[in-house]
Structure 1
Amino acid sequence: MPDEITETVVDSRITIRNLLHGEGSPFELAEDARKGLTSTPKTMQPKYLYDRHGSDLFEKITEQEEYYQTSTELEILRRIAPLIMDRVRPTALIEFGSGSASKTKTLLDEMRRAGRLEGYGMLDVSESALLAAADALVERYPRLQVVCEIADFEQPQPLPFPGKRRLLVFLGSTIGNFEVEDAKAFLRGPAERMHDDDAFLIGFDLIKDVETIERAYNDAAGVTEAFNKNLLTVLNRELGADFDLSAFDHRAFYNEPESRIEMHLVSRRPQRVTLIDLDLTIEFVAGESLRTELSHKYTRRSVEQLLEAGNLTLDMWETDPDGKFALGLARRR
């Protein structure tokens, strides 16, 4: 948890809290890049895909025909939002990795209809995304109090609105981007800070036929490929690297034993890359890959086991008719 929180009141309804401190990139990009690019195999954390351009590309990914996750999750959310409100009766909504907060408007609308909409907290690393979302939300909900926490939500953070009954949300199956042990550790953070009457709504992409899963990460329009290669653009810009984007191929495949999609950038030829800011030169052989993202897929049983390890218990489980996606409502154990 940060030793110091910088708080700025934008107006009477929007408060910004900066929980990111220290020198250089808030993500400690240089340190992570040195570690990941010199490891075997080479890896980078998926959060570095999401600069402003990467976030825009991801929004386009969610609009692709092959990418079933967003539309399916929204369908479930619209169907069960009234049930969640009756079950939890929240007065504040707290979202991890909120971005544009597009899907949670379904929940906020339901809270407003129930006369219980008081607060909305967003935890995200992008200050610009938080401010844009906050401005849109206070215009849509004039009485809403918004707290934006600029934070790496992978680390334990204080939760806004401690005096209210809260519904925490982590949608999009973003939980699947963690390594299994890291996912457990992440869940323990909110679990330790939740009250007995709080609840945690989490999206889970379910195990299904391999073709459907792989198509979602290999769209015909090439948006996911551009999103994946944007990582190299980030490294070039932020660390003085000289990655040639045309020298790498996008590859995304389902690792069945691990129940996860893996996204890689595969070197098309032997090459040497220099990162000036790190005083580092790395080499790729032809066919060598840089792993950029994981996306785990789940069954109800594996979700129950994950929640249990995160000091949570499953209170409600809803899927779409085809069993592609699920929303799980969890409580602290």
Structure 2
Amino acid sequence: MRLTIEHRLPADHFTRALREDAATALTERPRILPPKWFYDEHGSVLFDRITRLPEYYLTRAELMILRAHADEIAEATGAHTLVELGSGSSRKTRLLLDALTAAGTLKLYAPVDVSDTALDDAAETLCRDYPDLRVSGTVTDFETDLPLPGASPRLIAFLGSTIGNLDTEQRAAFLARVRAGLTGEGDALLLGADLVKEPATMIRAYDDDQGVTAAFNKNVLRMLNRELDADFDPGAFDHKAVWNAEEERMEMRLRARVSHTVHVPALDLATDFTRGEDLRTEISTKFRRDPLTEELTRAGLATTHWWTDPQNRFALLLATPS
């Protein structure tokens, strides 16, 4: 069969994980909810709109780099298998698929995503559009389960600067897992990373004039209401995009406009928000070249190529086991 999808998450995975994350966010300080909960059906639609906004340079910059260097990536790797982590719609991946197909090396595309709907839709479309390509998808959470199927050389693509959503310890653990999986001859990692730049540009990317990002941020409250029978009032919170200069990262927060109590029957708890208190919903670390390549080095990965867009806003790097 040219298309296979393996489901590796237990049936209660989302319910159990959401309850654990929500309980932590609502009972501990500081209040932190992982960004993976943004992406319900409506959140995914909103994020797609965000990637097309004039303020959101990240997607355009990464596409620019891929268009300019996909053939070079294909030549450098000669990949037989392309594994994409957090594949989503696989829109950007087509540039890599085209280049590897043209080079005559690609045999298998292996998308990995926590959303079975997004993965199923993308896999079926790619099978139709690439009639000689085998697609083997895996529905799992790559932060804890990292499947790397297929024959070497394998190219592991982690695009979109999703690496920035992980804090320092999480990045170290993730890169160590990637390195442990790169066991075949010629295996490599292709990593997308947003770069440090003037704060005003970054803040605008996370707080657009149309309010799409604000709606995306507040949608997580509606998801909690729906899934946990909570009574969050999205109007009681303001969307905040904050540049944390010390950590060199953007932070998305929901800030309580007034003091109030939120009830979450599914967790059998009630929690008080004071006026001005934040619920942090995302971090997005921005990188500098030397510290990032040093992180890779500590994980046993040597950076062999570094590409940026003409404005030096975003980077793609290629790394191999050292």
The two structures have a TM-score, normalised by structure 1, of 0.94
Matches within 5 A, 1:121-270: 121-161=110-150, 163-194=151-182, 195-270=184-259
**Partner of residue 5, structure 1:** none
Q: Which amino acid aligns with 1:295?
A: S
Q: What are structure 1's unaligned runs of at least 5 residues? A: 1-11
User: Structure 1 residues 27 and 133, CA, compared in 2 at 3 Å: closer, same or farther?
Assistant: farther
- Show CA shifts across 1:194-230 (max 9, x none): 1241111001100010111111001111111011011
Distance in structure 1 (CA, Å) of the matches to 2:16 and 2:315: 30
Higher helix share: 2
Between the aligned residues of both structures, percent identity stands at 46
Q: Secondary structure at the match of 2:247?
A: coil
1:156 Cα deviation after fit = 3.4
Q: Do the aligned partners of 1:27 and 1:152 also contact (CA within 8 Å) in 2?
A: no
Distance in structure 1 (CA, Å) of the matches to 2:99 and 2:11: 39
1:294 to 2:280 alignment:
no
Q: Secondary structure at the match of 1:200?
A: strand
**Corresponding residue to 2:108 among 114, 119, 143:** 119
Distance in structure 2 (CA, Å) of the matches to 1:59 and 1:137: 19
Distance in structure 2 (CA, Å) of the matches to 1:50 and 1:129: 10
Distance in structure 1 (CA, Å) of the matches to 2:100 and 2:260: 55
RMSD in angstroms over aligned alpha carbons?
1.1
Q: Which amino acid aligns with 2:175?
A: L
**Corresponding residue to 2:39 among 35, 50, 59:** 50
1:80 to 2:60 alignment:
no
- Show CA shifts across 1:252-297 (max 9, x none): 0111111000000000100100111000111100010100000000
Q: Which amino acid aligns with 1:168?
A: I
Distance in structure 1 (CA, Å) of the matches to 2:185 and 2:107: 19
Distance in structure 2 (CA, Å) of the matches to 1:291 and 1:27: 21
- Show CA shifts across 1:15-41 (max 9, x none): 111111263526611011111211111
User: Structure 1 residues 27 and 147, CA, compared in 2 at 3 Å: closer, same or farther?
Assistant: farther
Runs of 4+ in 1 over 4 A off after TM superposition: none
- Show CA shifts across 1:166-215 (max 9, x none): 11101110100001110111111121011241111001100010111111
Distance in structure 2 (CA, Å) of the matches to 1:13 and 1:30: 37
Distance in structure 2 (CA, Å) of the matches to 1:204 and 1:216: 15
1:122 Cα deviation after fit = 0.8
How many residues are paired up? 321
- Show CA shifts across 1:277-327 (max 9, x none): 000111100010100000000010111122123321211101112111100
**Partner of residue 331, structure 1:** 320
The two structures have a TM-score, normalised by structure 2, of 0.97
Q: Which amino acid aligns with 2:304?
A: D
